[in-house]
Amino acid sequence: MLADDLRGMYYIALKDLKAYYFKPPNISWGILFPFAFILAFAIRDPGDVRSLVPGLLALTVLFSTSSMETIVIVFERRIGSLERLLLAPLRLPAMLAGKLLGGMTFGLTVTLVVLVVALAIFGASGTNWLVLAMALLLSATAFSAMGALVSVAVKEVFEAQTLANFFRFPMMFLGGIFVPVESLPPMLQILARLLPLTYSVEAFRVALSGGSWSTAALDLGVLAAFSVVLFMLAVRTMARRIE
Amino acid sequence: MTEAIQVAGLTKVFTVAKDHPPLRAVDGIDFTVREGEVFGFLGPNGAGKTSTIRMLTGLSHPTAGTARLLGLDLDKDLPRIKKRIGVVPEASNLYDELTAFDNLIFAMQLYGVPRAERQPRADALLERFRLGEKCDAPFAKLSRGMKRALTIAAALAHRPPLIFLDEPTTGLDVMSARNLRQMIAGLRDEGVTVFLTTHYLEEAERLCDRVAIIVKGRIVALDTVAGLRSGAQQKTLVEITLEGADGQPERKRVECDDGVESAVQRLLSENNGRHVLAVDTLRPSLEDVFVQLTGLNAEVMLSEKGGKGGGSVGG
């Protein structure tokens, strides 16, 4: 049973990457969109571009994992092909985990490209590689799970995009990418602390610019918790749809 | 002969809305499907055919009742059942972005077909379903008939001993439908058990060993096609074709109350001296049985399904 689940997860992810993810529009969207935002802020305030890198990485993971992930499941349900996966000999959580794995793999690939470019420009000295790796992995998992939850919760592709943006855009402005969370009004600081992107940005900041292990541990722990909760909600929502 | 499917009291009730009574889509049905037979499941739209298939394949949970597939309990052994069945839904649902070949490979990967067997098996299926030349074509670019054939091929990729076909020839042109029917007949020859829903009565008549007719969630008849015919109230007719006064053929019919021979004698004596062109016996068709049991016109059923695309049974 476990072998069937693992095999199914692997091949579903592979199929999704081949069929949907590694297409030029997705790659360009995943890379260019965060770059455009960061560039706009860098032009406005060219003083310390390096400080924007953690935000750039977090934003790239967010958009590259969730952009396609949010529509893959609802799209396949719409055209009927999701039924093929539900009929296959694997359990529902494994099927959804396969979907997550596809989104994560794509997101990590795109983010690694951005990371290599950033490190080439700004240097890698002082980088905490372990925290960086964990931040990449857990951010990708959390945002991919968020995308999967959105995708199983809606009926139409356009609804998925609307709902995803409802979460992504406030996160982008409250998550500490452009404005430090500490400088936000108290109410917005509380709101920011409810968003996974805040912890992702903070973890990348610790990894690239230094910071305490306890901060990193908290950030990574919260990202892991978001991953588990969002994934379980996605599984539960999907299970309810099977009458 | 053992049973491939055993169903007892299978029921599906849908909650429609709070102020509406629940909908009993499937209402306590019992039937068995024998190993190696083509079992037809006929009924008008909304009769409960697809709801039954969805329950038997694990896509929806029965409200009540039990089912065993290939000797395994549906409730307890669903993952093992899933490994051993193939399902072709009403709409061809492979992946538009993948080629015909890649779609088959993915189907085999999901079901754990060993790596070394995948490519030869995919090639063999493509050849068998006359899709060899379309091996590298994306699913989206195939004709409707080819998509249907490939969807059936994908359902067979892991060599399931039991396959569910939901309206396999709906919307196909005559030649594609004919080819598919030949392929379905070929499955029976290989010992595959086929559970077939169709609204083409002639198709069921030609392909199925036994047929169940479901109306409003209940099975109203289950027998071989011959058994259903003989149980029908309509009597066999004898039709005699005579040469008319103007040279045109003229047909006359009489019921066979006391056997075909005496009916023929009676017709001949009533038309003494006229040249007989042909004598035929007209048995009640499955359509007659269906109309009698459901009160529905078969034409209505065809139009409900969106035309007669593959309705003409030619082989």
The mean-pLDDT minimum among B7-11, B31-35, B302-306 falls in: B302-306
Q: In chain B, which residue's Cα lies nearest the Cα of A78?
A: B93
Model confidence at B159, in pLDDT bands (50, 70, 90)?
A: very high
Chain B contact present for A83, CB below 8 A: yes
pLDDT of residue B311: 41
Which one is predicted more confidently, B205 or A235?
A: A235
Angle at B309 between CA B304 and CA B314, to 5 degrees: 120
Residues 6+ apart with CB under 8 A from A157: A71, A74, A75, A78
pLDDT at B309 over 50: no
Contact present, A167 and A150 (Cβ < 8 Å): yes
Domain covering B3-230+287-304 in this structure, CATH number: 3.40.50.300
Average pLDDT over residues B257-264: 74
- Which residues from chain B sit within 8 angstroms of residue A84, using beta carbons? 93-94, 107, 110, 154
Q: What's the whole-number mean pLDDT along residues A67-83?
A: 88
User: B273 at the A interface (CB within 8 A)?
Assistant: no
Check whether B189 has a pLDDT greater than 60: yes
What average pLDDT does the segment B240-260 reach? 76
The pLDDT mean for chain B works out to: 84
Q: Is it the case that residue B312 has pLDDT exceeding 70?
A: no
For residue B315, the model assigns a pLDDT of 36
**Residue-range domain boundaries for chain A:** 2-241
CB–CB of B110 and A18 under 8 A? no
Give A132-179 pLDDT, tens digit per residue: 999 999 999 999 999 999 999 988 888 888 888 888 888 888 988 888
Q: Look at residue A100 in the predicted model and tell me its pLDDT.
A: 95
**Could you tell me what percent of chain A has a pLDDT over 90?**
55
pLDDT above 70 for B233: no
Cα end-to-end distance, chain B, whole Å: 28
| More confident: B198 or B294 | B198
Q: Which of A23-32, B2-11, B14-23 has the highest mean pLDDT?
A: B2-11
Strand, coil or helix: B149: helix
Task: Determine the pLDDT at residue B252.
Answer: 78
Task: Check residue B227 and give its pLDDT.
Answer: 82
Average pLDDT taken over every residue of chain A: 89
Q: Which residue has the higher pLDDT, B267 or A89?
A: A89
Interface of A with B in 129-168 (CB under 8 A): none
For chain B, what are the domain ranges? Answer: 3-230+287-304, 235-283
Average pLDDT of the segment spanning B297-302? 56
Residue A87 in contact with partner chain B when CB distance is under 8 A: yes
Which of B95, B96, B150 is the best residue to mutate to test the A interface, defined by the most A CB atoms within 10 Å of its own CB?
B95
- Pick the more confident residue, B247 or B131: B131
pLDDT band at A196 (very low <50, low <70, confident <90, very high): very high
Instruction: Specify which of B93-102, B175-184, B258-267 reaches the highest per-range mean pLDDT.
Output: B93-102
Q: Would an 8 Å CB–CB cutoff place B123 in contact with chain A? A: no
| B112·A90 Cβ contact <8 A | no
| Residue B232 predicted with pLDDT over 90 | no
Q: Is B87 on the interface with A (CB under 8 A)?
A: yes
Tell me the average pLDDT across B205-221.
Answer: 90
**Phi and psi angles of residue B125, each rounded to the nearest 5 degrees, phi first:** -65, -40
Span B58-79, mean pLDDT? 93
Q: Say what the ipTM of the complex is.
A: 0.87
Q: Which are the contacts of A50, defined by CB distance < 8 A and separation ≥ 6?
A: A122, A209
pLDDT tens column, B107-124: 999 999 999 999 999 999
Nearest-10 crossing angle of helices A92-122, A129-153: 140
Residue of B72, B1, B22, B34 lying closest to B212 (CA atoms):
B34
pLDDT-based confidence at residue B261 (cuts at 50, 70, 90): confident
Percent of chain B at pLDDT exceeding 90: 45
Q: Which residue has the higher pLDDT, B195 or A177?
A: B195
- pLDDT-above-70 percentage for chain B: 88
SS (H, E, C) chain A: CHHHHHHHHHHHHHHHHHHHHCCHHHHHHHHHHHHHHHHHHHHHCHHHHHHHHHHHHHHHHHHHHHHHHHHHHHHHHHHCCHHHHHHCCCCHHHHHHHHHHHHHHHHHHHHHHHHHHHHHHHCCCCCCHHHHHHHHHHHHHHHHHHHHHHHHHCCCHHHHHHHHHHHHHHHHHHCCCCCCHHHCCHHHHHHHCCCHHHHHHHHHHHHHHCCCHHHHHHHHHHHHHHHHHHHHHHHHHHHHHCC
Q: Which residues of A touch B96 (CB under 8 A)?
A: 79
Q: What is the structure's pLDDT at B310?
A: 44
Burial class from Cβ neighbours inside 10 Å (0-12, 13-18, 19+) for residue A158 reads: exposed
Q: Which of A17-26, A218-227, B34-43 has the lowest mean pLDDT?
A: A17-26
Binned at pLDDT 50, 70 and 90, residue B98 comes out as very high
Does any CB of chain A come closer than 8 Å to the CB of residue B94?
yes
Measured between CA atoms, the residue of chain B closest to residue A72 is B95
CA A74 to chain B, closest CA, distance in angstroms equals 14
Find which of A23, A87, A95, A240 to mutate to test the B interface (most B CBs within 10 Å of its CB). A87
Specify the pLDDT at position A26. 75
> β-strand B85-88 against B162-166: which pairing, if any?
parallel
Letter string b/e over residues B91-119, b meaning 16 or more CB atoms within 10 A of that residue's CB: bbbbbebbbbbbbbbbbbbbbbbeeeebe
Q: Which of A19-23, A66-70, B160-164, B297-301 has the highest mean pLDDT?
A: B160-164
**pLDDT tens profile A77-111:** 888 899 999 999 999 999 999 999 999 999 999 99
Q: What is the pLDDT of residue B307?
A: 44
| Inter-chain CB proximity B82 and A88 less than 8 Å | yes
Average pLDDT score over residue span B62-74: 95
Residues of B with CB below 8 A from A80's CB?
Answer: 89, 91, 93
User: Looking at the partner chain, which of B14, B80, B82 has a beta carbon nearest the beta carbon of A87?
Assistant: B82
Cα–Cα distance measured from residue B301 to residue B99, given in angstroms and rounded to the nearest whole number: 35
Query: With an 8 Å Cβ cutoff, is B83 touching chain A?
Result: yes
